[in-house]
Amino acid sequence: MSSAPIPTMSEADGKIRLMVGPVSVPERMDRPQLVVQSSGNEVQIYEYQRWAGSLKGDIARVVSASLARDLGTPNVWSFSDSTSTNFDYQILLDVQNIESSLDSGVVVDVLWTIKPASDKNKALVKNANPNSDTAPKSQTIMGRSLVSEATSGPGLDALVAAQSKAFARVGGEITQLMRR
């Protein structure tokens, strides 16, 4: 998966710090090979078409890049790529499903949680409704993103590009809630 480059930001002071992850994915998808739905409930595993890294790491990287760009902060990193624990919010991603079809594109279903770092009191859970009021920083916010993305052409490269765009859109939905 790939993401658009993050613009260079000169001032990091006072910016929010986000850690994205851990990311969980369905077991049938958690493999180095590319997995594509061939028909109905059948999947095709492309033995020689592999992720450059791990699928979980790539998802975290794409969502992190989307958040950094949309929120204008360079302080976004992936749980799997860092040992830093000095963050303001942790964004947990639980990928329920990734439907990838060469014919119809991609549908991703992701449950996500925005969790404050210093949540010593029991967190109140607020539904991630775009029409809801602003959440105080001490609240845990949970939401679900169901995103469809068509492929821009034939082949596996177009399918992987659609997956990247879908996960970037998940990051965009999380950004909308964080801006409130």
d(CA 79, CA 40): 34
pLDDT category, 24, cuts 50, 70, 90?
very high
Residue 13: the pLDDT is 47
Token pair listed for 102: 């060469």
- Decide if pLDDT at 74 tops 90: no
pLDDT category, 132, cuts 50, 70, 90?
very low
- Decide if pLDDT at 79 tops 80: yes
Residue 180: the pLDDT is 77
In which order are the strands placed within the sheet that holds 76-78?
A: 76-78, 18-24, 89-101, 105-116, 140-149, 125-127
pLDDT category, 63, cuts 50, 70, 90?
very high
76: left (phi over 0), alpha (psi -120 to 50) or beta: beta
- Decide if pLDDT at 147 tops 80: yes
What's the mean per-residue pLDDT of the chain?
A: 82
Residue 37: the pLDDT is 78
- Decide if pLDDT at 76 tops 60: yes
pTM of the predicted protein model:
0.82
